[in-house]
């Protein structure tokens, strides 16, 4: 069990920074697109619409770009991205992979160490290219410099191996608890929902990661408890050769999140996971988009991943993704990375295409991203081990 603390990105905009008025943008607000003016002050959305464009604000014309919250990747073990990749499955379940994982540990130690430096920066840059600003990862508890937001969560890697998962769950005190469960097709995996129930862990703050071994009856138990399923379709296919059956996703009331998984396990980023989920056709596109915005925010108890016209907007962090697309669906499922134009974290531009360079101030912070034409970032391109 690993605990993770919230880690802030590069910091709030300086106290004397002029508020920014974003004009000419098309804002995705909980399923609808609205055209309005948004004021960003420090690291938060200060106001939305109305007469919010004051003369004191620096006005920036977005030229019709679609603006959404930064996406939520509900399962992405960042350190494992820097470990040598496993061979594709199918494996019976995650425990059967331990032999293959153990064989890679000697070379993997370098990857784990790299997570504290260039490796982590490389993974952050890769996440931004998917429009992701919030990541649930078990590997960054001691690192204070990640530019990704990592909500405070508790991880239970195995119901079989952890000494007392029920105690760890109870100690979480209502914080999100991510549990690798039913992560395979063996008989042991199929009994893990019973283990969760026996440990009084079926609750609204439970996030079941994996779930390829779930049955429709298991899914009903999760739904009845208000628990979440973190679906990783690309990793499931790579490791197990299958994912949870369609009857699981048809369960009324089952709450779904989407995770990219690690590159070691065949993950290719959150957009690839969303596009794979779309190809399965188990869930409508609007529900998949909700899984990486509103639902992700709710499940991980995160302040980010929200753009709202309500009076409470001043509580929302200015973590935003900007797309060249007519709709959010087109951006994510049809165009993908080709659509992404810019990413903002805490009111600061951290990644943008060349034609937007300097629009929101301090362009000298942004450096060319090697191998990615027309992109500039606050992170100089770094390499990992994948």
Q: What is the pLDDT of residues 278-320, one digit of tens each?
A: 999 999 999 999 999 999 999 999 888 888 777 555 567 899 9
137 touches 76 (CB < 8 A): yes
Q: What is the pLDDT of residue 206?
A: 98
Answer whether 0.75 is exceeded by the pTM. yes
314 and 291 in a single domain? The answer is: no
Q: What is the CATH number of the domain that holds 203?
A: 3.20.20.140
User: Which of residues 274, 300, 326 is at a domain's end?
Assistant: 300
152 and 282 in a single domain? The answer is: yes
Q: What is the pLDDT of residue 311?
A: 53
| Domain span at 153 | 72-300
Assigned domain for 1 exists: no
* Cα distance between residue 187 and residue 290, in whole Å: 32
Assigned domain for 5 exists: no
Q: Residue 143: exposed, middle, or buried by beta-carbon count in 10 A (0-12, 13-18, 19+)?
A: middle
229 and 322 in a single domain? The answer is: no
Which position has the token pair 């629009």?
Answer: 359
Q: What is the pLDDT of residue 229?
A: 98
Question: Cis link prior to 90 (omega < 30° from 0)?
Answer: yes
Q: What is the pLDDT of residue 44?
A: 85
180 and 239 in a single domain? The answer is: yes
Assigned domain for 386 exists: no
Q: What is the pLDDT of residue 187?
A: 81
User: Which of residues 278, 300, 322 is at a domain's end?
Assistant: 300
SS3 96: helix
Assigned domain for 4 exists: no
139 and 199 in a single domain? The answer is: yes
* Cα distance between residue 88 and residue 157, in whole Å: 21
108 and 243 in a single domain? The answer is: yes
Q: What is the pLDDT of residue 56?
A: 63
Q: Which residue stretches of the chain have pLDDT < 50? A: 1-13, 15, 106-116, 142-143, 385-386
């Amino acid at each position: 069990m690993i605990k993770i603390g919230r880690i802030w990105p590069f910091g709030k905009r300086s106290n004397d920074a002029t508020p920014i008025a974003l004009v000419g943008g098309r804002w995705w607000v909980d399923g609808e697109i609205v055209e309005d003016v948004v004021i960003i002050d420090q690291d938060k959305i200060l106001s939305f619409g109305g007469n919010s464009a004051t003369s004191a604000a620096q006005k920036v014309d977005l030229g019709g770009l679609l603006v959404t919250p930064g996406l939520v990747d509900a399962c992405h073990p960042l350190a494992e991205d820097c470990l040598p990749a496993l061979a594709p499955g199918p494996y019976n379940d995650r425990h059967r992979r331990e032999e293959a994982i153990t064989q890679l540990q000697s070379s993997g130690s370098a990857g784990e160490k790299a997570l504290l430096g260039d490796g982590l920066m490389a993974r952050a840059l890769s996440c931004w290219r998917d429009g992701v600003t919030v990541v649930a990862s078990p590997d960054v508890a001691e690192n204070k410099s990640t530019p990704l937001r990592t909500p405070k969560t508790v991880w239970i890697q195995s119901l079989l191996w952890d000494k007392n998962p029920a105690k760890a769950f109870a100690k979480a005190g209502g914080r999100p608890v991510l549990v690798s469960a039913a992560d395979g097709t063996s008989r042991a995996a199929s009994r893990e929902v019973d283990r969760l129930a026996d440990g009084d862990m079926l609750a609204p703050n439970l996030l079941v990661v994996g779930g390829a071994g779930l049955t429709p009856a298991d899914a009903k138990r999760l739904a009845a408890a208000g628990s979440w399923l973190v679906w990783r379709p690309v990793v499931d296919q790579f490791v197990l050769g299958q994912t949870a059956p369609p009857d699981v996703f048809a369960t009324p009331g089952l709450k779904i999140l989407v995770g990219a998984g690690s590159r070691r396990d065949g993950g290719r980023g959150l957009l690839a996971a969303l596009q794979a989920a779309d190809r399965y056709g188990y869930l409508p596109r609007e529900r998949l988009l909700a899984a990486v915005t509103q639902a992700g925010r709710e499940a991980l108890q995160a302040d980010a991943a929200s753009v709202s016209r309500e009076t409470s907007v001043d509580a929302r962090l200015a973590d935003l993704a900007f797309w060249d697309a007519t709709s959010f669906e087109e951006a994510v499922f049809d165009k993908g990375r080709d659509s992404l134009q810019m990413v903002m974290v805490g009111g600061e531009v951290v990644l943008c295409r060349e034609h937007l360079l300097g629009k929101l101030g301090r362009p000298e912070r942004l450096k060319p991203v090697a191998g990615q034409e027309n992109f500039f970032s606050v992170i100089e391109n770094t390499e990992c081990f994948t």
